[in-house]
Amino acid sequence: MSVLWGILQALIFPGFLFLSVYALFAEWMDRKLFAPMQNRIGPPLIQPLADTIKLFSKETIIPKAVQAGLFTLLPYFSFAAVVTAFLFVPVYGVPAISSFPGDLVIVAYLLTIPTLVLSLAGWSSDSTYSILGGIRALTQLFAYEVPFFLALFTPALLLGTWNISEIAARLPGFLLANPFYFIPVLISFLVGIVALQGKLERKPFDIPDAETEIVAGPFTEYSGRLLAIFRLSIDMEMVCGASLLAALFLGGPQPFISWMPGIISYLLKTLAIIFILAYIKAAVGRIRIDQMIRFGWQILAPLSLVGILMVVLFQKGGLI
């Protein structure tokens, strides 16, 4: 019975089905928040679902010059990596449906796979635009991935555990008892937000698929069902990234007040992070790839190291 219950959780809630529905809603919310910032109305609630159904119903065209097997399988690898990572993030309570010591490292690794898949998709598409997009995606990876990992590891170092659910359960109480630690946690949270924007390739980091320069980058040759899976996996990655940051820095499903259900707390926190991502997207314009690299290594990486250094000094240096 427990095995069957685990399968139902993985497939329905809080697994695949919930993630798919929430990802489509998150895309709608992102577009709806972004639109008024540009004096537009924005799409109706059903638009992301309609777009997905439309893409699934269209013909999938595979160029003759590509390796058809690799070209076809790559979107599924990205999709599977994000869905698997989400199973380790607490949604309605702690622990998550899949939890073990060190799962933070696994989730960080799994969330790297979609970017690697994008670079391979660009290389395998046999298109100049796609190849350039793949090169940009891989180049950009080295600028934000290290700061993102360091930001995630700050609360882990602070609490001495690499388990996401344990961090989500313990961090709020720890910060209330030790308010000085708010500073490194806040710094790491802000670095994580900006680095997540880069992982999702959203403005100002939408360099790999800059439509005014390289059409759609790695997605240029993709169509139909394969493009739909790629787009859905990106929406899922946004939800998964927001859920991970909410768990590590905001307590995840831990409620603000005692009577609030954990799922409501989770939704409020993740939607707040998605709002911040939408605001960043609307507030800034695209930068060049060299500016992205400099920003990652000269600003994000040092800031993430500052957060870790403050934790070490507070804990081991006897400053607090």
Q: Does some domain include residue 5?
A: no
Give the total number of structural domains in the chain. Answer: 1
For the whole model, what pTM was predicted? Answer: 0.92
Enumerate residues 6+ apart whose C-beta is below 8 A from 318.
none
Q: Does some domain include residue 2?
A: no
Report the C-alpha gap between 64 and 54 in whole angstroms.
Answer: 24
Buried residues in 50-70 as b, exposed as e (16+ CB within 10 A): ebbeebeeeeeebeeebeeee
Phi, psi of 53 (to 5 degrees): -60, -40
Neighbours of 316 (CB within 10 A): 8
What's residue 205's pLDDT?
85
Enumerate residues 6+ apart whose C-beta is below 8 A from 10.
16, 87, 97, 98
Q: Give how far Cα 273 sits from Cα of 194, 240, 270, Å.
A: 11, 11, 5
What's residue 23's pLDDT?
93
Q: Which residue has the tokens 């097997």?
A: 69
What's residue 6's pLDDT?
73
How many Cα atoms are found within 13 Å in the side-chain-facing hemisphere of 269? Answer: 29
Structure tokens at 21: 């529905």
Residue type, 264: I
What's residue 166's pLDDT?
92
Enumerate residues 6+ apart whose C-beta is below 8 A from 39.
none
Report the C-alpha gap between 206 and 214 in whole angstroms.
Answer: 11
Contact criterion met (CB below 8 Å) for 37 and 31: no
Structure tokens at 312: 């070490």
Q: Which residue has the tokens 């990876």?
A: 141
Residue pLDDT tens, the chain, 320 long: 577 777 777 778 787 889 999 999 999 998 888 888 778 888 888 999 999 999 988 888 888 878 888 888 889 999 999 999 999 999 887 788 888 888 899 999 999 998 888 888 888 877 888 888 888 888 888 888 889 999 999 999 999 899 999 999 999 888 888 888 899 999 999 999 999 998 888 888 888 787 777 878 788 888 889 989 989 999 999 999 999 999 999 988 888 777 788 899 999 999 999 999 988 888 888 888 888 889 888 899 999 999 888 888 887 765 55
What's residue 4's pLDDT?
78
Contact criterion met (CB below 8 Å) for 152 and 89: no
Chain length of the chain:
320
Q: Does some domain include residue 253?
A: yes
Contact criterion met (CB below 8 Å) for 201 and 276: no
SS3 110: helix
Q: Does some domain include residue 11?
A: no
What's residue 320's pLDDT?
54
Q: Does some domain include residue 8?
A: no
Contact criterion met (CB below 8 Å) for 219 and 227: yes
Q: Does some domain include residue 223?
A: yes
What's residue 27's pLDDT?
92
Q: Does some domain include residue 262?
A: yes
Q: What is the domain extent for residue 137?
A: 19-316
Residues 95, 162, 104: CA angle, nearest 5 degrees = 75
What's residue 319's pLDDT?
54
Q: Does some domain include residue 1?
A: no
